Amino acid sequence: MKKRLCLKVAALWLGAIAWLPAARAANLELEALVAEAFANNPAVQAAQFEVSRAQAERDELRGFFDPQLNATVSQTDYNAGYNQALLHAGVDAAILPGVYLGTRFEESYYSQLQDSTVTNVFGNYNDLWQSSGRLRLGVPLLRDRGFRIWKLSDERAAKRFSMAQNHWRAVTQQCRHDVEQQYIAVQEAVAQRYVGQAALTRVEKLLKEAQELVQLKIVPEYQLFTARSEVALRRESEAADQQACRTTQTRLLELLGTSQARPVRASFDTLILWAESVELPPLFVEDKALKARGDYNEILDFIEVAEKEQAINQDNLRSDLSLNMEAILQGEDPDNVIGTGRYLNERNLGASIGLTWKRPWGYRTEKARIRAISATIDARYELLRQTAIRIRADLKVQHEQFMSAQDRLSLVAQAIVAARQALEAENERFCLGEGRSRNVLDAQKDLTDALQRQIIIAVELLRAYSNFMYASGYADEF
């Protein structure tokens, strides 16, 4: 009894040693494939460039506060007889909390004043320099008050950047899921080919044994016919399985974004042991999945972008009322370039203040645009609700399918043990001349069907696991 117990413990330990490397190797290889896809897949790279574009568009709005320089040089000959050379330079800037500040400097040179008809204005001077400096302040009072439009535009650009990031996250999650599913397909194709090759080997062995028994007159010749037919069918199946392996490998390379072939570790044992190693928690949190999903958050960001767009259009419905103030310092001098004297009037300092109001005759364009945006927001909320319903349903369905596949995988393992025992018994009967080749072929077919069924269930389990993780947004914990 003790010896049997020790042998059983040793068998379990050896099985664990063999199990861990295969399952772990599959997970590590899958992670390496996902990383390669993230680095090379065109869809992922395009989404990354969209993130960079959104960031650049937000940085572009910062130019609103960049000072604007301007300068003008002109020479004018007036009909009154005198000439004027003008140098004009200034700086305009938008300054928080919402004012436009402008500075101007002008330098004028008047010549041939004695020949003009307005010498009474300029006095008894033939040449005169005039210098003036202006400080202008503009304050929006209704529309764009406090640079509201810029602030809303900046918030909209920030949401567009977030939307691009969530789109990139959605694309990477979809890419990861596609790679996982295709990697499972590769494992399935290789495992099916392994089972098919084993079945072909068994049938060829049966045909050889039947030929020997026919030569020894132990069994009649007609028992060769079914074995030959089965060999031909198995060879045809082997050719189909070989093509399926090549196809799945090519599709995997397509997802990786490369045409260079690379070896993928795949085998029957890897598939089965990998399926037996994965686990899902008994409970999961739906709200955490919604927060982790890129496509769900992309829709949320789109709604917020549309709301900012709507706020901008609503602000455009206001009348444009602005307060403008200007202070002017001016002086003249007949000899010096910088004029500070008072030759044309008695004061050097002047000021002006005024209100400017304007508005379109109607707001048909803005109102129509607001209605369109409102309809878009309502539609996106329905899409958001639909996405949430689908994610919750996927989590529930895939979790149930995974648990069911786990139970079925253990049941089919028992069927495989029984099918092997039945095949051994039929082989023994046939070799003794008591059975028929048809009975052996049926037993072989039962074993092949059981092994193929094990592959199908293992694939269903792994796909359910992959689908569940994708539905969860690959959140770390549930």
CATH of the domain at 387: 1.20.1600.10
Closest CA to 65 of 103, 90, 97, 95: 95
Please state whether the predicted TM-score (pTM) of the whole model is above 0.85. Answer: no
Residue 6 lies in a domain: no
Would you tell me how many other CB atoms lie within 10 Å of the CB of residue 148? 16
Which 8-state DSSP code applies to residue 113? G
Q: Are the C-beta atoms of 404 and 463 separated by less than 8 Å?
A: no
- Does a structural domain hold residue 342? no
3-class DSSP state for residue 401? helix
Cβ pair 134, 104 in contact under 8 A: yes
Q: Is residue 132 part of a domain?
A: no
H/E segment holding residue 149: helix 148-215
How many structural domains compose the chain? 1
d(CA 429, CA 420): 14
What is the spatial distance between Cα 312 and Cα 298, in angstroms, rounded to a whole number? 21
Query: Which position has the token pair 């010896």?
Result: 3
62 in a domain, yes or no?
Answer: no
- Domain housing 384: 18-57+154-303+374-471
Residue 321 lies in a domain: no
Tell me whether residue 380 is in a domain. Answer: yes
Query: Which residue's entry shows tokens 């909209």?
Result: 156
Backbone torsion region of residue 477, taken as left when φ is above 0, otherwise alpha when ψ lies between -120 and 50, otherwise beta: beta
Between CA 328 and CA 90 the distance in angstroms is: 13
pLDDT tens for the chain, 478 residues long, are 433 444 343 343 334 434 446 778 888 899 999 999 999 999 999 999 999 999 999 999 998 999 999 999 998 887 666 788 889 899 999 998 899 999 999 988 888 776 666 556 666 667 888 889 999 999 999 999 999 999 999 999 999 999 999 999 999 999 999 999 999 999 999 999 999 888 888 888 877 877 777 777 776 777 677 778 878 888 888 899 899 999 999 999 999 998 777 778 888 999 999 999 999 877 778 889 999 999 999 999 999 999 999 999 999 888 889 999 999 998 888 878 787 777 777 788 889 999 999 887 767 888 899 999 999 999 999 999 999 999 999 999 999 999 999 999 999 999 999 988 888 887 778 777 776 767 777 788 888 889 999 999 999 999 999 999 999 999 864 3
User: Scanning the structure block, which residue is given the tokens 């940085």?
Assistant: 59
Give start and end residues of each alpha helix (H) in 257-363. 268-277, 286-292, 294-315
Q: Is residue 63 part of a domain?
A: no
Indicate whether 314 belongs to any domain: no
What is the side-by-side order of every strand in the sheet holding 99-111? 68-77, 83-95, 99-111, 128-140, 320-333, 349-358
